[in-house]
């Protein structure tokens, strides 16, 4: 590890968004440690990144972050971490709650919730001692609404979103910046591994993980509290659905996650036309408030510039904005 290069830890870094985060940080001149459970995929990912960024150090740790032992092993092996990308997570769906596998859902909670808290606790203590650091938590747009047919997953991502926002407020005086990434459906193995190939979300066109990772890095290095990953359509629809009560959010979510051949009773209330109308109204409202929100942000930025700067002066990576 070079003394003048920040070191980035990316969990879930062997594929998807995690791989792209690791690759883009490496190409921007950061040493990178990628962690995942599958040794073969981990080494393949590391070799691909080394080919693209031969001047930096790319290390790997194989660990099961759904276990205490795995988290401790990773932390011991990691050494100094300047940027943590807490990206590891799994999904679970493909049927209603009476049909899905309890053991898989408990393992999901262990990784998506317990493992995130455990690793963050260890890394944050190290960062606080130095008075600087950055953390990116990968949540999901599923974390802003109840999630029929993936209820445990959506709840876990709501936890991550709230956890990240809470830590951001708490840790700012210690020089630690926290950003929450909320991607929409992204072109990864997520839906297949979650048993959700037979759902509208699993079958729809998805965002490029390269784009999502670039947006995440831009937001993290700009010290933004959160970023909705993906294209404009995803951002508008997500902004729109925030305006509605949870029952409407749940139905909108259900329209994407209910298996297409589901034969259960009832459809949860609102039909597709009603949901489409609500999204349209919400999108208009979101667009109508955009200027006001931008003005508020500019005012806040002006106030922030008059405050002491946080102790986190890492090299800015990936300045291009989609």
Whole-number mean pLDDT of the chain? 85
Residue 287 has pLDDT above 60, yes or no: no
Residue 269 has pLDDT above 50, yes or no: no
The token pair at 270 is 């609102």
Q: Tell me the DSSP string of 271-320.
A: -HHHHHHHHHHHHHHHHHHHHHHHHHHHHHHHHHHTSPPPS--PPP----
pLDDT for position 173: 98
Confidence of residue 232 (pLDDT cuts 50, 70, 90): confident
Average pLDDT over residues 17-21: 98
Residue 164 has pLDDT above 70, yes or no: yes
Q: Does residue 153 carry a catalytic annotation? A: yes
The pLDDT tens digits for 22-74 are 999 999 999 999 999 999 999 999 999 999 999 999 999 999 999 999 999 99
Burial of 168 (0-12, 13-18, 19+ CB in 10 A): buried
What SS3 state is found at 151? helix
Contact 171, 147 (CB under 8 A): no
Average pLDDT over residues 277-306: 45
**For the ranges 28-32, 37-41, 140-144, 295-299, which has the lowest average pLDDT?**
295-299
Residue 76 has pLDDT above 60, yes or no: yes
Choose, from 137, 149, 153, 163, the residue flagged as catalytic. 153
For the chain, the structural domain boundaries read 7-305
Q: Give the architecture (CATH level 2) of 7-305.
A: 3-Layer(aba) Sandwich (3.40)
- Backbone φ and ψ for 222, nearest 5 degrees, come out as -90, 0
Contact 207, 182 (CB under 8 A): no
């Amino acid at each position: 590890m070079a003394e003048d290069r920040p070191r980035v830890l990316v969990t879930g870094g062997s594929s998807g968004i995690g791989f792209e985060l690791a690759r883009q940080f490496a190409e921007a001149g950061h040493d990178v440690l990628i962690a995942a459970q599958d040794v073969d995929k981990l080494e393949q990912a590391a070799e691909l990144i080394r080919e693209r960024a031969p001047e930096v150090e790319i290390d790997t740790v194989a660990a099961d972050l759904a276990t205490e032992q795995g988290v401790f092993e990773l932390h011991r092996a990691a050494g100094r971490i300047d940027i943590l990308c807490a990206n590891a997570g799994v999904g679970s769906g493909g049927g209603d709650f009476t049909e899905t596998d309890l053991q898989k859902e408990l393992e999901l909670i262990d990784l998506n919730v317990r493992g995130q808290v455990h690793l963050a606790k260890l890394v944050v203590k190290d960062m606080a001692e130095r008075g600087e650091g950055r953390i990116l938590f990968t949540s999901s747009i599923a974390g802003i609404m109840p999630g029929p047919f993936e209820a445990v997953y959506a709840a876990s991502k709501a936890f991550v979103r709230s956890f990240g926002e809470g830590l951001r407020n708490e840790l700012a005086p210690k020089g630690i910046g926290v950003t929450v990434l909320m991607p929409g459906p992204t072109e990864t193995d997520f839906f297949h591994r979650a048993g959700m190939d037979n759902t509208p979300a699993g079958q729809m066109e998805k965002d490029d993980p390269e784009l999502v990772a670039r947006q995440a890095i831009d937001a993290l290095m700009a010290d933004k509290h959160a970023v909705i990953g993906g294209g404009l359509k995803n951002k508008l629809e997500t902004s729109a659905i925030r305006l509605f009560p949870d029952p409407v959010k749940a139905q909108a979510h259900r329209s994407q996650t209910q298996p297409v051949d589901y034969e259960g009773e009832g459809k949860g209330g609102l039909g597709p036309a009603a949901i489409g109308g609500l999204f349209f109204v919400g999108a208009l409202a979101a667009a109508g408030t955009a200027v006001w929100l931008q003005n508020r942000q500019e005012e806040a930025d002006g106030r922030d510039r008059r405050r002491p700067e946080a102790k986190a002066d890492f090299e800015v990576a990936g300045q291009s904005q989609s």
